[in-house]
Amino acid sequence: MSGLFQVPWSDYQSDLLDALGRTVAYTVVSFAGAVVLGLVVALLRLSRTWPARAIAAAYTEVFKNVPLLAIIFLTYFGLASVGVRLDVFTAGCLSLVVFYAAYLSEIFRSAISGVHAGQTEAGEALGIGRTGIFGHIVLPQALRLALPGTNTMLVDLLKSTSLLVTVSAAELMSEGRLITSATFRALEVYLVISAVYFALCYPLSQLLLLLERKVRAGVPLSPWRRRRLRAARALLAAEPTAGAIVKEASA
């Protein structure tokens, strides 16, 4: 066991930090793109127009049933063979976006459909337009329903960045492969790389779980909502005082 840790990690510290930053960059950019594209596809699936629903359904089924590794190869090597050359970062992010958008679209579609139709009817009764109903009534409730599945996809996407080692994307797994080639200490290197992924994913999953619990408990997260809640509480607290003043004046 004493011969296990023999890699001079101090020599690779700066490279590992660069690889860690690149892994986080892949995760943030890809997840943001997947959320936007997934929401668009979900809305198309719920559209009243048949061609829009058909296109969105075809997209979802294709990318849900093709391995991510195949998508990475198609994006980086396949497009290059027909003259569309993407740099590694763009190809990696694009692969992750189109793959995870398919899963997120199903999560978002289920969440939007899970909002009771009476909410939309109440908005219409108040004279709110379709855009206002969706943005102010349906979407906030749908986000609350979609949060558990979305959190799972974020952690899974972070782990899936390791597949970009196949195109030498300079993320953590690629750096681990380079260190292994230089030291021939595969067990030690990949144990450390696995520990780094765990150190990233476990706290993230716990933070997302805490966020989910706060949202489920109705805790306001945005400053705007907190201000509105404080104003409402102040108004409710002032009502008994105002009532007592009216009674004294009438007496």
pLDDT at 244: 52
Per-residue pLDDT reduced to its tens digit, 19-61 = 999 999 999 999 999 999 999 999 999 988 999 999 999 999 9
* Better-scored residue on pLDDT, 130 or 240: 130
Determine the pLDDT at residue 4. Answer: 64
Mean pLDDT over all residues of the chain? 87
Entry pTM: 0.85
Whole-number pLDDT of residue 127: 79
Q: What is the pLDDT of residue 100?
A: 97
Q: Per residue in 127-148, pLDDT tens?
A: 788 778 777 778 888 888 899 9
**Per-residue H/E/C for the chain:** CCCCCCCCHHHHHHHHHHHHHHHHHHHHHHHHHHHHHHHHHHHHHCCCCHHHHHHHHHHHHHHHCCCHHHHHHHHHHHHHHCCCCCCHHHHHHHHHHHHHHHHHHHHHHHHHHHCCHHHHHHHHHCCCCHHHHHHHHHHHHHHHHHHHHHHHHHHHHHHHHHHHHHHCCCCHHHHHHHHHHHHCCHHHHHHHHHHHHHHHHHHHHHHHHHHHHHHHCCCCCCHHHHHHHHHHHHHHHHHHHHHHHHHHHHC
